[in-house]
Chain A
């Protein structure tokens, strides 16, 4: 502010240098990711406890999930993680056009993920494999299979919301990249969105075997 020597435009006044600002952002992001892990943690706990109480019902109910769609989605999300990481790498090398390409690829893969998820959901809605009192399917043996679908929809639904949030964040950094707001000097927001996106991937990496592969 009042200091005479030139400051980069992206340096906020209360930080003394760019390095401090960048590390603060990263630190904050990691603490935020910690809260995300614990948010999902509650659902993982519900899963663990009901699964331990009803192993047979969980086994029977998981067969109602489409393992091929689940696997496809896993591949899609991992690929999107790779493109996200590469977009940051291109930014570090100051290859802005490449960054834009990789960000668009990440968005496209995220869309594919949601489309596949949509087909899975609509099938379940159709046959009545729904949570709680809306459950009307009769083909699954075991006690209270509606609990499995409650947990399934809770976990994948919350994850889906995170995919949507991640996509909005990617669109935001994409626009700023197009507007040449970032360079190899300053790309912290892209990096932060990348960390968030990897976390979304990370959660799916656990959701997938727990829900689809419990054989």
Chain B
């Protein structure tokens, strides 16, 4: 039994992996903050999320050992992400597509109920929603 247990703890990662991953996370944080000051049009979100995903992958694979452990744990983690994606995407099939057939569906449920409604002019940013400009 002891042989088995110590067998398992043979999984000890070298120190440089932890420090290296930590360093990479710091660098990536720096990069993403700096990029956020640059206007990339619609791409800022994409870049920020891409960097965040890389950081998350580093944490999950190295700090949480998913790269080395039984792949069932990775499966569980990806299941969570998969169901979360279903939740968000399917809901957006509704929220982003209202008003195709009956335009009044696209309006807020109670127009005029918004308490801070203002006409403001930020037309430089691409506005492609059915809800903001009423």
Direct touch of chains A and B (CB < 8 A) = yes
Q: Please tell me if the beta carbons of B131 and A142 are within 8 angstroms of each other in the complex.
A: no
Using A141-B122, A206-B52 as known contacts, say yes or no to A53 and B36 having CB atoms under 8 A apart.
Answer: no
Q: Please tell me if the beta carbons of A144 and B83 are within 8 angstroms of each other in the complex.
A: no
Q: Please tell me if the beta carbons of A89 and B15 are within 8 angstroms of each other in the complex.
A: yes
Q: Please tell me if the beta carbons of A75 and B116 are within 8 angstroms of each other in the complex.
A: no
B73 to chain A, nearest CB (A): 5
Q: How far is the CA of A209 from the CA of B31 in the complex (A)?
A: 12
Contact string, A80-109, partner B, CB cutoff 8 A, digits 1/0? 011011100100110000000000000000
Q: How far is the CA of A41 from the CA of B129 in the complex (A)?
A: 23
Q: Please tell me if the beta carbons of B118 and A22 are within 8 angstroms of each other in the complex.
A: no
Residues of B within 8 A of A (CB-CB), count = 67
Secondary structure dominating the interface of A: helix
Q: Please tell me if the beta carbons of B118 and A142 are within 8 angstroms of each other in the complex.
A: yes
Q: Please tell me if the beta carbons of A185 and B2 are within 8 angstroms of each other in the complex.
A: yes
Q: How far is the CA of A54 from the CA of B8 in the complex (A)?
A: 51
Q: Please tell me if the beta carbons of B63 and A38 are within 8 angstroms of each other in the complex.
A: no
Of residues 26 through 68 on chain B, the ones whose CB sits less than 8 Å from some CB of chain A are 26, 29, 32-33, 36-37, 39, 44-45, 48-49, 51-52, 55-56, 59-60, 62-64
Of residues 62 through 80 on chain B, the ones whose CB sits less than 8 Å from some CB of chain A are 62-64, 69-70, 72-73, 76-77, 79-80
Of residues 38 through 78 on chain A, the ones whose CB sits less than 8 Å from some CB of chain B are 38, 41-42, 44-45, 48-49, 52-57, 59-60, 67, 71, 74-75, 78
Q: How far is the CA of A41 from the CA of B83 in the complex (A)?
A: 9
- Which chain A residue lies CB-closest to B35? A213
Using A38-B80, A85-B63 as known contacts, say yes or no to A53 and B95 having CB atoms under 8 A apart.
Answer: yes
> In the complex, which of the residues A53, A59, A210 has the most CB atoms of chain B within 10 Å of its own CB atom?
A53
Residues of B within 8 A of A79 (CB): 22
A152 to chain B, nearest CB (A): 16
Residues of B within 8 A of A84 (CB): 63
The 6 closest A-B pairs by CB, nearest first: A209-B48, A213-B36, A82-B22, A53-B131, A37-B80, A34-B80
Q: Which residues of B contact A (CB under 8 A)?
A: 1-2, 4-6, 8-9, 11-13, 15, 18-19, 21-22, 25-26, 29, 32-33, 36-37, 39, 44-45, 48-49, 51-52, 55-56, 59-60, 62-64, 69-70, 72-73, 76-77, 79-81, 83-84, 87-88, 91-92, 95-96, 114-118, 120, 122, 125-127, 129-132
